[in-house]
Structure 1
Amino acid sequence: MLQTILAPNPSPLTGPGTNTFLLGERDIAVIDPGPDIAGHREAILAAGAGRISHILVTHAHLDHSAGAAALSAATGAPVLAFGTADAGRSPFMESLVTTAGGGEGRDTAFMPDRRITHDEEIAGRDWKLRAIHTPGHMGGHLSFLWEDTLFCGDVILGWSSTLISPPDGDLLDYFRSLDRIEALRTSGLLPAHGDPIESPAARIAELREHRQERSAQILRALANGPADAANLARRIYEVPPALLPAAARNVLAHLIALTQLGATTTPGPITPESQFSLR
């Protein structure tokens, strides 16, 4: 009923690679076709055995959506998603598109055949999914509820916290998505990277606490004077130098959220180089 095919795209941000899920027997839904790698597509087609009826994409990042078009062409199955890579941003994040930088891994060519919205049902002959809008990692991020299990894309990972890179990523939306997922009371989570999560409530609590402590670290650091995101990342993260740019994007997400909440301020437009200070 459920098969998992691991894409050959391991990295510090994707872990062992992208999990492509195949759900169903008579009709098969492919959830996150993954990167556009011929060998991975061939593995999906072999597992689908001519029964792939739906292609669902959690969000328009290249490691999730880039393989959708070729898989659709090979099977005739429609591609369903919240929208393009630009979809789902809050008005505030939309106002930062030209100044905040970011855009890592965006699949700017992605175009679903059908757009789906929060709480919409998608069904095959032997399965039923409910779309859950879970922005935070990306504005148009969807998770898919199957019975009491949630395919949660990149919003919750078991081995790491997800990258939140504005303006596509939004920390306040992320917290709201954690609340929304927690309220589902699922028995398990199936992330797009890494192993299944068997204790969803505990993992959600851990991630919420982690982000709250990161905000507290930033506020403590700003008590010593104004700083930008990169400077703060170097001071509060203990990661290899190659991961500091991603850390700085996460810090910027925290700074933007803290500014929206009135705890910090910065003169002029928000950019990666903006100097933030305590209000």
Structure 2
Amino acid sequence: MIPFVRDFDFAYGRTDSVSPLIQRLVAHNPGPFTFTGTGVYVVGRPEPGARVAVIDPGPLNPAHEAALLAAVKGRIVSHVLVTHTHRDHVPLARPFAEKTGAVVLAARPPVRETHASGALDEEDDPDFAPDVVLTGGEVIAGDGWTLETVATPGHASNHLAFVLKEENALFSGDHVMGWSTTVVAPPDGNMRDYLASLDTVMARDFATIWPTHGPPITEVAPFLAAYRAHRLEREAQVLARLAAGDRTIAEMVPVLYAAVDRRLWPAASLSVLAHLIKLVEDGVVEAAPEAALSAEFRLV
């Protein structure tokens, strides 16, 4: 079982100091894929004149924008960092950067359709373009803080995470979330990439993970081990359904996700597809005519 963490103290419009170098405020955009809303992080010292960075400014929402501007008032915003270009993370990045004089840094936006259906509300912002393109390995520094970029594709092909070296902490975006498992939705989401990125994060032995949605993860090693084990268990369950005679994703999902709200089954279908695409690539499963939501699958 994944030791999910779901309870934390927050209020919309309020900025909380959650560590010596991190302040957080939560946008008022709760939902089945955003939990309580998008958590925006201000990285840097809280005193006036300090140079700070903002991670994932969030959605276009006048009240949220006003709260974020108030949170950084008196300080210099040098960088706006984006973990990925889904609409709950990035739309405010450009307007906020223009008002604060910051530079926007992110990976290059995806070149293909983000999702295979309208099952999710996490589509990309098609108008977003960063000032500086990140690929992983870059180091960004300010007054008393140092952020390292880590490429973590899987949830999205252009997903990044950011390491706050002074606190051995990771801003994980949607790659790892404390309140839920992460959606991996083809064609932009990729299960093989996701598992490899998870291994990358596990190898770093972080003290804390700060997701964009929900509270921090402080028992990092056991949480990540359970998170990865869940993915492998789901893959085994998909293989078991094929062995039992299921041939389509529509047959598998009601069994595999019987305890999950039916409204989330379309998203679950995409996750199953991500597993099946990996299994087809592994030569364990074959698809007809090709690996897609409507395909038929069989064990090789």
Could you state the TM-score of these two structures normalised by the residue count of structure 1?
0.92
In the TM superposition, 1:16-55 aligns within 5 A as 16-25=36-45, 26-50=50-74, 51-55=76-80
Amino acid at match of 2:186: P
Identity %: 42
The separation in 2 between residues aligned to 1:74 and 1:266, in whole angstroms, is 50
Q: Deviations over 1:151-189 (max 9, x none)?
A: 010000111100000111111111101110011111110
**Which residue, out of 85, 94, 99, partners 2:110?**
85
Root mean square deviation, CA, Å:
1.7
Q: CA deviation at 1:225?
A: 2.5
Amino acid at match of 2:125: D
Report the count of equivalent residues. 270
User: SS state of the match for residue 203, structure 2?
Assistant: helix
Q: CA deviation at 1:268?
A: 2.3
Find out whether 1:111 has 2:129 as its counterpart. yes
Q: CA deviation at 1:226?
A: 4.5
In structure 1, what is the equivalent of residue 226 of structure 2?
206
In the TM superposition, 1:202-241 aligns within 5 A as 202-237=222-257, 238-241=259-262
In structure 1, what is the equivalent of residue 18 of structure 2?
none
User: SS state of the match for residue 182, structure 2?
Assistant: coil
The separation in 1 between residues aligned to 2:115 and 2:22, in whole angstroms, is 42
Q: CA deviation at 1:227?
A: 2.0
Find out whether 1:6 has 2:30 as its counterpart. no
In structure 2, what is the equivalent of residue 182 of structure 1?
202
Q: Residues 243 and 40 (structure 1 numbering): CA distance in 2 closer, same or farther, change over 3 Å?
A: same
The separation in 1 between residues aligned to 2:251 and 2:93, in whole angstroms, is 38
**Which residue, out of 250, 262, 266, partners 2:283?**
262
Q: CA deviation at 1:100?
A: 4.5
User: SS state of the match for residue 44, structure 1?
Assistant: helix
Contact 2:28 2:37 in 1 (8 A): yes
Amino acid at match of 1:146: L
In the TM superposition, 1:53-132 aligns within 5 A as 53-86=78-111, 100-101=116-117, 104-132=122-150
In structure 2, what is the equivalent of residue 251 of structure 1?
272
Contact 2:114 2:189 in 1 (8 A): no
Q: CA deviation at 1:101?
A: 4.4
Q: CA deviation at 1:117?
A: 1.8
User: SS state of the match for residue 269, structure 1?
Assistant: coil
Q: Residues 125 and 6 (structure 1 numbering): CA distance in 2 closer, same or farther, change over 3 Å?
A: same
Contact 1:59 1:85 in 2 (8 A): no
The separation in 2 between residues aligned to 1:77 and 1:39, in whole angstroms, is 20
Amino acid at match of 1:29: A
Moved more, 122-131 or 219-228: 219-228
Amino acid at match of 1:251: V
Contact 2:115 2:123 in 1 (8 A): no
Moved more, 164-173 or 228-237: 228-237
The separation in 2 between residues aligned to 1:187 and 1:123, in whole angstroms, is 20
Amino acid at match of 2:271: N
Amino acid at match of 1:118: G
Runs of at least 5 residues in structure 2 that lack an aligned partner in the other structure: 1-20
**Which residue, out of 161, 179, 189, partners 1:143?**
161
The separation in 2 between residues aligned to 1:277 and 1:109, in whole angstroms, is 40
Q: Residues 202 and 72 (structure 1 numbering): CA distance in 2 closer, same or farther, change over 3 Å?
A: same
Q: CA deviation at 1:111?
A: 0.7
Amino acid at match of 1:215: E
Contact 1:120 1:131 in 2 (8 A): yes
Moved more, 52-61 or 267-276: 267-276
The separation in 1 between residues aligned to 2:117 and 2:284, in whole angstroms, is 22
Q: Deviations over 1:15-40 (max 9, x none)?
A: 11111000113111000001111111
User: SS state of the match for residue 54, structure 1?
Assistant: strand
Could you state the TM-score of these two structures normalised by the residue count of structure 2?
0.86
